[in-house]
Structure 1
């Protein structure tokens, strides 16, 4: 489809589940064996629409999730643009280098790598390409593309029928009841209509609730049937069937649609993730404003007591150039993850630590107890943040004291006895004349 839209597309591409977010397909070049993460954006024109330029991604490169590539960006061979990378306009990122996040309008260099070795014409094929496209020996049966298409279409058809059934069944049942009441009842048509209307609303509520619980039951049951309890380790496409089972499970998750949005911030959402294997403490608030996505591997997530997780990302998998690994995530007691913050696979938050908005904790890193972090990638801003907060508190106390002193002076004035001016009789200039 992308080729028909004008893009230059190579072979054995690992496409993101969310698709490519771009509009100028004819200015996009993607070579062989490129790995994409989800929710990335490719803008081939600047904000003023005064300049357009081609975006080129060479063979073996990886574009992780939440990346933004601006016009004229060239990602050379075997280069990794890590999570949240910002590709600066008209910039070339050398072969074999690793970049992550953004600072001052450009991605942060994590490792320069070996450019000469990366530019060598070595094979760039990923484990996904070996298993899915080349059909090499994997130890399990790899489902072909055409069967994946049939499976996803079948799931979508089943989902549509499932969620359309409550209103269809309710209308048919109410129609039968209405006809029977019209023939046998002595009530007026208005009374019968009001009764059947409220009965219809009640039946719709009942059926929709039953369908929602049934969809959640299907998801929970299929999770335990497909995976059991997930374990830490490597699950490459050409070595394990985990990734294929995960793709099947993603299709099953579509059945529930947006049910979890109803439970956001409530204890029911915690109960749902406990049913999926997550260890969640007491008084935990999960995704009060929603999550995109919510936990994808909940049985590898540990959350302590009194925590709050806003629209944050708790993802336990790491897809590094086609090599898929799972690592646990640990969130200590009384921790806070604000909107758009993220823990990469294997990260740990100790007790009373906080991630501010748009903060990324790298894989394997640990936030110390009581610290505050901000940035992508994150830096410890505890002293700066608390220093500002302390100065604000001091200024607030000073203003309160000034206000109290003014009130005290006013009250002292009001409580003082009134001053009486008396004049001697001989000094009185007012005389009464008869």
Structure 2
């Protein structure tokens, strides 16, 4: 059962069937499946995370690289202890980084006012407080700019340029790298970009640096969004488009497979609050997705059309 499913009491989901959204209180069937086909239930994610380990570490090692049951993974996948250690260390680093502007402002004021005033009549308390405020604002601005620059740089260092295709856990390292990169996103704050830059040209510039193709006069996330576009490389937003508190998702994680595809939002198209476009979807010129509307994978919304429903096109 996928995103937006709503099922009545007593509803039964047949084996291997796929369901999404709802119409009149019942989910919509995307695929009936083949009950009793005996298809393996171990998906690519399970193969990578829980398959037999390779290498000297073995499956019992917390640092071991997990691998599919049939062959070794083509990349290094840290064990649970290594993942936990990485998350803990990154959180500690982020904590101190976000505390740094306050510490820097206190040190700066002490050096500029208090140390320099020794042996004199002293410094007015109001001057010290004003100095703290100015120093903190300046240090915060510098730290935010550094964090944004680090986010962009680390995206290209860790993920590189992302292209459409299949990125199953047991075949490609994309998902591992994406999880590593999300820890660094905390450096700038999960909501820092939309809180301060949402709706302005600056947020468009930020996502252009991350690889998105964004035209002129685009209104992007004026009141924020969570998540914002997760794969900017695959997003094209043309002139005059508006993306409100909406979700631009270029990945499809169905039955354990992980696929990426492009999304295009045409000129003057609009995505209203809590609407969502999936991998491969296209909004043509002037198309509108109303509140709580889903354009599923591969769907094309015709020019000038106004759509509502979760999902549309069914």
The TM-score normalised by the length of structure 1 is: 0.65
Match of 1:9 in 2: none
Given candidates 18, 31, 51, the residue that maps to 1:111 is: 31
The residue correspondences of 1:235-384 to structure 2 (distance < 5 A) are 235-257=167-189, 258-260=191-193, 261-379=195-313
**Is the CA contact (8 Å cut-off) linking 2:299 and 2:313 kept in structure 1?**
no
Equivalence map 1:9-408=2 (5 Å): 81-117=1-37, 120=38, 122-134=39-51, 135-136=67-68, 137-180=72-115, 182-186=117-121, 192-257=124-189, 258-260=191-193, 261-379=195-313
Which whole-Å CA distance do the structure 2 matches of 1:145 and 1:297 have between them? 26
Larger Rg: 1
Q: Deviations over 1:196-234 (max 9, x none)?
A: 211111110111011111111111111111122111100
Deviations 1:17-41 (CA, angstroms, capped at 9, x unpaired): xxxxxxxxxxxxxxxxxxxxxxxxx
Gapped regions of structure 1 (runs ≥ 5) = 1-80, 381-434
CA displacement at 1:183 relative to structure 2: 3.0
TM-score (norm 2): 0.89
Secondary structure of 1:270 counterpart: helix
Alpha-carbon offset, residue 181 of structure 1: 5.0
| CA–CA distance in structure 2, aligned partners of residues 334 and 179 of structure 1 | 57
Q: Deviations over 1:101-139 (max 9, x none)?
A: 01222212222222232xx4x430111111222123121
Classify the secondary structure of the residue corresponding to 1:116: coil
- Tell me, which stretches of 5 or more residues in structure 2 are unaligned? 52-66
Q: How far did 1:285 drift?
A: 0.5
The higher relative CO (CA closer than 8 Å, separation ≥ 6) is in 2
Aligned residue for 1:402?
Answer: none
Aligned-residue CA RMSD (Å): 1.6
Aligned pairs, number: 294
Q: Secondary structure at the match of 1:92?
A: coil
Determine the structure 2 residue equivalent to 1:389: none
Bigger Cα displacement from structure 2, 268-277 vs 128-137: 128-137
Distance 2:84 2:166 in 1: 27
